[in-house]
């Protein structure tokens, strides 16, 4: 049975069509052929096989020239991915060239190298999506640098922040994910050539030069030693995908919380027919954010599987390679889907600044209690100020008063609070601390990466 990400009906919601295409059978076959051609050219360049054979292999190695149905039938019998490829590609070659196809290599060399080639293309798509998301976050941070809203702690009103500050926290995290990818990429994009158990005994004295030439041909890095059973590179990739997914899921979850009827500070962009309930006419549901949250949770599961694939026995393991065929494509497809869905949300996000202000005044301005306490601390001492303001806040809640009225009614506090001072201490815009400066610092980081967003 096909999975959701393979579904023609639902699949595009869980992964972009471009990324799904990169991990299709056709793309996988093309990557394997590319690896076989690079191997033959490297060997011919060092005199290990005839140049004419390498040329013939390169001419024949076209996905459209191979019968995928017949290859699948052979794979169902052999159970070894590259055996049908060698058989059917060999059938397109003359007898002299056929004997040099796949010379000295093993299945895992071609499968691993082909997968790395797919990863390289996939990372280009991911790079573009990451950059677009960072630009969208930078734009929100800049536009709402001074849009005051309630900061929340333990899901309760705490002290004021700005929406720009919230967006900048998200942006800062995404910028670190970009840095992690830049550090990961050279470790990940390394090809494989080792032969049966990694020693390249089949190629004699020219084995290592052949390996180096093959990787130059492909534009991949060369490992110093065969990594058939050293899968840490791929495990690092999957861990990174899960990290990014967790950030995306957090952002989506925050937007969902702020869309609640009782809060109403953010909304996914509206369009006719989107977000409605099948039964409740008044509903405007989050649509993309719940999918991002689901994708993030699934991405979180994949590193454990890839860590299992690291634990291989001897020089060629059993069972790990098929597991990676499941994990690696799924990780890329799901991450592309999460980035795409959240990107659209951020591009069309509706920010209700008026509702943010209204929520700040909820409870008669109690959210400003800390501001008053810190304003009184220099003259009363922090401990005494906290006790007094806490008593006033409790009185306000018990009697249904505003914090301002409760403070003015307190005989201990009243001598220290003239009208101008109290007005300033109760103004949320005057108590966002260094939020604006930190937003500016994050935007400066984004600008240095060329990701400051529109409006520079």
**Looking at the annotation, which residues are catalytic?**
277, 316
The runs of H, that is alpha helices, within 8-106 are: 17-22, 25-45, 51-60, 68-78, 82-90, 95-98
Instruction: Report helix angle 25-45 to 51-60, nearest 10.
Output: 170
Question: Under DSSP, is residue 192 helix (H, G, I), strand (E, B) or coil?
Answer: coil
Rg of the chain, C-alpha, whole Å? 30
Token representation of residue 5: 């990400």
Contact 255, 345 (CB under 8 A): yes
Length of the chain (residues):
456
For strands 190-191 and 221-222, give the pairing. parallel
Token representation of residue 431: 């108590």
For strands 266-267 and 350-351, give the pairing. antiparallel
Contact 22, 332 (CB under 8 A): yes
The residues near 73 (Cβ < 8 Å, ≥ 6 apart) are: none
Of the chain, the end-to-end C-alpha distance in Å amounts to 49
Is the CA virtual torsion 173, 179, 183, 188 positive or negative?
A: positive
Residue linked to tokens 């030439």: 213
The residues near 444 (Cβ < 8 Å, ≥ 6 apart) are: none
* Residue 303 CA: distances (Å) to CA of 235, 284, 330: 7, 35, 11
CA distance 176 to 182: 10
């Amino acid at each position: 049975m096909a999975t959701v990400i393979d579904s023609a009906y639902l699949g595009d919601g869980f992964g972009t069509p471009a990324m799904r295409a990169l991990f299709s059978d056709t793309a996988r076959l093309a990557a394997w052929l590319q690896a076989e051609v690079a191997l033959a050219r490297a060997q011919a360049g060092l005199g290990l096989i005839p140049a004419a054979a390498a040329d013939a292999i390169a001419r024949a190695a076209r996905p459209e020239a191979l019968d995928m149905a017949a290859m699948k039938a052979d794979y169902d019998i052999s159970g070894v991915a590259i055996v049908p490829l060698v058989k059917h590609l060999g059938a397109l070659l003359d007898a002299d060239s056929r004997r040099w196809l796949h010379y000295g290599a093993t299945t895992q060399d071609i499968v691993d190298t082909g997968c790395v080639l797919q990863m390289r293309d996939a990372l280009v798509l991911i790079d573009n999506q990451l950059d677009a998301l960072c630009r969208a976050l930078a734009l929100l941070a800049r536009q709402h640098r001074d849009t005051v809203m309630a900061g929340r702690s333990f899901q309760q009103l705490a002290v004021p922040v700005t929406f720009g500050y919230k967006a900048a926290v998200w942006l800062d995290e995404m910028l670190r994910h970009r840095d992690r990818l830049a550090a990961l990429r050279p470790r990940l994009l390394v090809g494989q050539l080792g032969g049966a158990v990694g020693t390249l005994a089949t190629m004699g004295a020219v084995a290592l030069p052949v390996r180096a030439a093959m990787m130059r041909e492909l534009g991949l890095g060369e490992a110093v030693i065969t990594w058939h059973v050293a899968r840490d590179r791929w495990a690092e990739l999957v861990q990174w995908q899960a990290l990014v997914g967790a950030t995306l899921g957090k952002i989506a979850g925050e937007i969902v919380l702020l869309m609640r009827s009782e809060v109403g500070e953010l909304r996914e962009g509206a369009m006719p027919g989107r977000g409605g309930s099948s039964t409740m006419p008044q509903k405007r549901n989050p649509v993309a954010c719940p999918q991002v949250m689901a994708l993030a949770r699934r991405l979180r599961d994949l590193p454990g599987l890839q860590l299992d694939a690291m634990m291989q026995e001897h020089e060629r393991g059993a069972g790990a390679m098929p597991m990676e065929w499941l994990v690696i494509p799924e990780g890329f497809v799901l991450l592309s889907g999460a980035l795409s869905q959240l990107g659209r949300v951020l591009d069309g996000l509706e920010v209700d600044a008026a509702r943010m202000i209204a929520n700040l005044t909820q409870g008669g301005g109690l959210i400003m209690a800390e501001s008053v306490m810190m304003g009184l601390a220099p003259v009363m001492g922090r401990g005494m100020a906290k006790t007094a303001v806490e008593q006033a806040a409790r009185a306000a809640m018990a009697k249904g008063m505003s914090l301002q009225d409760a403070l003015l009614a307190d005989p201990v506090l009243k001598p220290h609070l003239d009208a101008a001072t109290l007005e300033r201490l109760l103004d949320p815009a005057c108590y966002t601390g260094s939020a604006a400066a930190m937003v500016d610092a994050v935007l400066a980081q984004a600008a240095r990466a060329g990701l400051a967003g529109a409006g520079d």
